[in-house]
Structure 1
Amino acid sequence: MNQQGLDCVLMPAGLTIMLAYHLWLLRRIAKHPTKTVIGVNAINRRHWVHTMTVASAGNGSSSKHSRQDLVLGDRSKLGLSVKLFSILVCFAFALLLNIEAVRYYSHVRILINVPLRGRRSPAHLDTVMNKGSYFWSGGLHAFYLSLPFFLWIFGPISMVIRRLLLVCFL
């Protein structure tokens, strides 16, 4: 099978592996949140927000190679363009998610220090804090997704191997 044939077979296989993992992870978070790091962290953030709001209510304050080697036989400009565009999309998506995480964390930082009378409920702070965390986690996963795309430049076999290793790692 030639390079383009492998690309057409192994790239969707690699993406399917990542999609299956993330669907499994979402289901696991929804059904058994204490068995995932994301779920445990959400619970801990909820406790932290509660502690910060109770503490601040009590004392009135809170604490603060060469080009030839690079393409490895895939000489079509379209093939290389698709690979580079895929990397770019992953990075752009990761950046977008991380910017949103910073936005939500910034809101929590401000809201947690508002005097008790003007402050929204701890449940609202918890929701905002967890949204920031979910965006941060999504940004990291988008960044992780981009790494196998880099290896795809060197061939589809290395990309699939990297995706399998990444799912085991995650």
Structure 2
Amino acid sequence: MGWWKEEKLDLILVPVGFLIMCIYHLFLLYRYLNCPEVTAIGYENHNKKAWVEKMLLLDAKDRGFAVAVLNGHLSASTSLSSISLVLCSLIGALLGSSSNNILTSSFILGDTSQSTSTIKYISILSFFLLAFACFVQTTRHFVHGCFLISMPTGDVPVDCIQKAVLRGSNFWAVGLRALYFATTLLLWIFGPIPMFVGSVVAVVVLYCLDINKEPMIQYSTNKTGNGGLLKRIGQELSEVVEVFEHHGRP
């Protein structure tokens, strides 16, 4: 019975917990590709596409606010990529260390062998490296979006800027998911039971956060920008002329 508790718990609970996380994210990917309006990611991307269109209605000299918004995303992605890299270095140092006292403690219910400990560290390290790579790609696409949206001539197609912003947002989402996987695997250090419970709790919480019950905002499709402004100015001038004509009558 002791052999069952110490050895087979890792062989059963850890793969099941990891499989639950994978199945949920495959389900989320399926919903996002087929019904994006029912997912929070699709709802946010819909708003970001409209945001790019509205920002391009402004003159290039007035798009400083748009660049500031993208710079905020750049700062967040840079911070998370730095944190992921630091954690990768820390885990690499622990992996190369010969002392694994925390993994051989008596309070851990599961396999505490050296080979299992190595698998734990390598698994966690892999997801932190994936998160680091995704956040670097997020920074790359947002920087590209800043260059395009601040183009002074204003002849950059809307689709190009939308593609850069949405790709950066998608890499950001994948990086966060990699951190979620890494967090559940960190619980594996304390045994397979915390890892399994953490996976189930993470799926429940993520399902509540990823579902979208709000209807898609229907933004106006006016793309004339300066044309609408000139039209409004023309209407105001016409009203002023009418006032002068009215007061100029005998």
* TM-score (ref. length: structure 2): 0.63
Q: Give the C-alpha shift of residue 71 in structure 1.
A: 7.9
1:159 counterpart letter in structure 2: M
- Aligned counterparts of 2:10 and 2:59: Cα–Cα separation in 1: 57
- 1:126 aligned onto 2:162: yes
| One-letter amino acid of the counterpart of residue 143, structure 2 | S
Alignment deviations for residues 80-109 of structure 1 (CA, whole Å, 9 cap, x no partner): 000011111111110110110011111111
> 2:114 — aligned with what?
77
Q: How far did residue 63 of structure 1 move? A: 2.0
What is the aligned partner in structure 2 of residue 103 from structure 1?
140
Note if contact 1:70-1:154 (Cα within 8 Å) is conserved in structure 2. no
* Mapping of residues 6-85 of structure 1, within 5 Å: 6-56=9-59, 60-64=61-65, 67=102, 68-69=104-105, 72=108, 74-85=111-122
- Displacement, 1:151? 0.9
Tell me if 1:114 matches 2:117. no
Distance in 1 (CA, whole Å) between partners of 2:120 and 2:112 is 12
Answer yes or no: is the 8 Å Cα contact 1:104–1:132 preserved in 2. Answer: yes
Deviation at 1:70, TM superposition (A): 8.2
> Offset of 1:31 from its aligned partner?
1.7
User: What is the TM-score normalised by the length of structure 1?
Assistant: 0.91
What is the percent sequence identity of the aligned residues? 33
Alignment partner of 1:161 is 2:197: yes
Counterpart residue identity of residue 114, structure 2: K
**Structure 1 residues 95 and 70 mapped into 2: Cα distance closer, same or farther (>3 Å)?**
farther
1:145 matched to 2:148? The reply is no
Amino acid at match of 2:186: F
Give 3-state SS (helix, strand or coil) of 1:116's partner: coil
After superposition, the C-alpha distances for 1:36-87 in whole angstroms (9 at most, x for unaligned) are 1100111111001101111126xx53123x5343882633111000001111
Residue 88 of structure 1, aligned match among 104, 112, 125? 125
Unmatched segments (≥5 aa) in structure 1: none
| Alpha-carbon distance in structure 2 between the residues aligned to 1:114 and 1:70 | 62
For residues 128 and 21 of structure 2, the distance between their equivalents in structure 1, rounded to whole angstroms, comes to: 16
